[in-house]
Structure 1
Amino acid sequence: MTLLLRWLSRWPLAWLHALGAALGWATWALSPSYRRRLAANAALAGIGDAERRRSVAEAGRMAAEAPWLWFMPPGERLGDRVRWQGQAVIEDGLAAGRGVLLLTPHLGSFEVAARAAAERYEVPITVLYRPARKPWLRRLEETARARPNMATAPATLSGVRQMLRALKRGEMVGLLPDQVPPEGQGVWAPFFGRPAYTMTLAARLAQQTGAAIGLAWCERLPRGAGYSIHLAPVDGPLPDDDMAAASLINAAMERAIRALPSQYLWGYNRYKSPRKPRPGD
């Protein structure tokens, strides 16, 4: 499998996106549960048929561009392929000597955003991730994400400590606050009008470190033309109450998603019940 992914990584990005669009539609056609969840989640947010159809292909494009990103030669940079909008969110926080907490939903090319930020600002960024279940894929992810100024933090207590230390050093941290946390690590807060189990981690990281907090989402441009990274402040300050803070962050996630609804992963099971925590969580 690794050899196949390496071979695909040599394809032009436009070709990978074309392949990904086909894979996205194949997944949609072969999985009735995925179809139903995607349609239900999009309808809940008031997303029309045209944007919903585009999201099917975009989900496949996100998966297909992963080999290109993971196996990019160490000396190659994303700079020429990325446009920036609203970068004062990062620059002002770093200039003030504060850590910067970047929040993005499952929207666009979120992995590209973290890599591009590490390159542009030459400041370490620590990204929260959930290790893959398959050992070969977990090893591949860990190797591929080992880049200059990039660190990964597992979704465990040790990973939380790692992110706290990074923010206190004035570095950047990125996480997906619409990822469903284990039981006991979130609250049921509204998301597009329906209760969704929402992590309290994002707000607590900002509150305990005084870090600047902002939204970040990476738009995939047509025909392999590259990416546009959008940044915006989170309306704050964050309340001390967990429910109020989670609700404010969910509202911010909704704004980002509505700005680019065709590239949100509507098939993600956002409203599932949380799993029981495992040892180390």
Structure 2
Amino acid sequence: MSRASEQSRLWAPQHWPMWSGLGLFWLCARFLTWSERRRLARGIAWIIFHVVRLRRRVVLVNLRLCFPEKSEEQIRALAFAHYEALAYGLFETTAGWWEPVDQLPAHRVVGVEHLQRALAAGKGVVLLTAHFTTLEICGVYLTARIPVGCLYREPNNPIVAVPMRRHRERVASIAVHFDDLKGLIRALRSGHAIWYAPDQGKRTPGSEILHFFGVPAITNTATAKIAKMTGAAVVPYFARREPDGSYTLVIHPALENFPTDDLSADAVRINRLIEDNIRLAPEQYFWVHKRFKARGEGYPEVY
């Protein structure tokens, strides 16, 4: 199919509702203050949580498994806060697409010297992180400070894919498809820093069942393999929205004594690191993902 034909298909009637939705978010980015967007996000979250109930069971199951010390009332409050973070994340994402960085809320980047030092070694950097609702807007902040590439996965909806692709091509130093291992290796060996989040469970030949928040989960062990193959430094990076509406991006020193000869121990170390940073802002993690699915024989189906 020609590019012109593909573009014309995007304007087919079945896509008009999505185009209208994007138009509404563009208007919000153009005319609403951030406090107004926050209030609107809370209303959207209330509808999705109480009426639509989109993936509500998944979120509640994840939170009960990961925070067994919390009461049911606390779990439900945290779940609603997560839906508020998801809804607000839509405004953050579209603002990152369409608004200049100097018009976005205040932010601070802590530890950028750790990334600069690792890049100076010339062997590439695995910028180790996880999936949080703030990942798009904080990606804008980070790439405005220092060149960073990313792994990407096309959204299922082709209408959303259009502005997202344009945005990532604009801000990222290089974009590598998440299934393109050879492309990732080439990018690291060329000296790029690559945003890399191994926290979502996917059954692969190299995955293992390891603990995440003390619960067995399919765990990606590829981080250590990639670091060993390329010599790239593994630099942890985490970002969060603060209660005052500003953002804090923290880049940690490169992991020492990593990788080791024990892939499982390396993966558990990464899980612990991710857990520690989730606890700083638990409502902002992607709890809608079925983190404990398809674990295999001997493990209960929790969803």
TM-score (norm 1): 0.83
Correspondence for 1:228: 248
Correspondence for 1:277: none
CA–CA distance in structure 1, aligned partners of residues 42 and 259 of structure 2: 38
CA–CA distance in structure 2, aligned partners of residues 77 and 203 of structure 1: 37
- Could you say what secondary structure the match of 1:114 adopts? helix
Correspondence for 2:87: 60
Identity %: 27
CA–CA distance in structure 1, aligned partners of residues 47 and 204 of structure 2: 33
CA–CA distance in structure 1, aligned partners of residues 154 and 122 of structure 2: 31
- Could you say what secondary structure the match of 2:89 adopts? helix
CA gap 1:25/1:175 in 2 versus in 1, 3 angstroms: farther
CA–CA distance in structure 1, aligned partners of residues 134 and 140 of structure 2: 10
Q: Which amino acid aligns with 1:169?
A: S
CA–CA distance in structure 2, aligned partners of residues 239 and 187 of structure 1: 16
CA–CA distance in structure 1, aligned partners of residues 188 and 104 of structure 2: 24
Deviation string, structure 1 residues 17-61 (Cα, Å, up to 9, x no partner): 322222223222135572332222222222741544433322221
Say whether the 8 Å CA contact 1:104–1:177 is kept in structure 2: yes
CA gap 1:94/1:186 in 2 versus in 1, 3 angstroms: same
Say whether the 8 Å CA contact 1:119–1:149 is kept in structure 2: no
Correspondence for 2:26: 6
Correspondence for 2:5: none
Say whether the 8 Å CA contact 2:200–2:289 is kept in structure 1: no
Q: Which amino acid aligns with 1:206?
A: A
Deviation at 1:69, TM superposition (A): 0.9
Deviation string, structure 1 residues 144-170 (Cα, Å, up to 9, x no partner): 2221443322222xx322222222122
Correspondence for 1:36: 57
TM-score (norm 2): 0.78
CA gap 1:267/1:247 in 2 versus in 1, 3 angstroms: same
Matched, 1:248 2:269: yes
Say whether the 8 Å CA contact 1:115–1:150 is kept in structure 2: no
How is 1:1-281 mapped onto 2 (pairs within 5 angstroms)? 1=19, 2-10=22-30, 11-32=32-53, 34-46=55-67, 48=70, 49=74, 51-73=78-100, 76-77=101-102, 81-121=106-146, 123=147, 125-156=148-179, 159-222=180-243, 225-233=245-253, 234=255, 236-273=257-294
- Could you say what secondary structure the match of 1:145 adopts? helix
Q: Which amino acid aligns with 2:181?
A: V
Deviation at 1:142, TM superposition (A): 0.7
Deviation string, structure 1 residues 118-149 (Cα, Å, up to 9, x no partner): 2212x3x2211221112222223112222144
Deviation at 1:188, TM superposition (A): 1.7
Segments of structure 2 that go 5 or more residues without pairing to the other structure are: 1-18, 296-303
Greater radius of gyration (CA): 2
Say whether the 8 Å CA contact 1:94–1:100 is kept in structure 2: yes
Deviation at 1:79, TM superposition (A): 8.6
Say whether the 8 Å CA contact 2:95–2:137 is kept in structure 1: no
CA–CA distance in structure 1, aligned partners of residues 102 and 190 of structure 2: 25
CA gap 1:185/1:133 in 2 versus in 1, 3 angstroms: farther
CA gap 1:79/1:169 in 2 versus in 1, 3 angstroms: farther
Say whether the 8 Å CA contact 2:236–2:251 is kept in structure 1: yes
CA gap 1:204/1:31 in 2 versus in 1, 3 angstroms: farther
Deviation string, structure 1 residues 164-207 (Cα, Å, up to 9, x no partner): 22221222101221123353352222111112112233222222
Deviation at 1:254, TM superposition (A): 0.9
CA–CA distance in structure 2, aligned partners of residues 79 and 33 of structure 1: 29
Alignment RMSD (CA, Å): 2.6
Segments of structure 1 that go 5 or more residues without pairing to the other structure are: 275-281
Say whether the 8 Å CA contact 1:9–1:69 is kept in structure 2: no
Q: Which amino acid aligns with 1:205?
A: I
Deviation at 1:80, TM superposition (A): 7.4
Say whether the 8 Å CA contact 1:108–1:218 is kept in structure 2: no
Structure scoring higher RCO (CA < 8 A, sep ≥ 6) equals 1
Say whether the 8 Å CA contact 1:219–1:227 is kept in structure 2: yes
CA–CA distance in structure 2, aligned partners of residues 236 and 55 of structure 1: 35
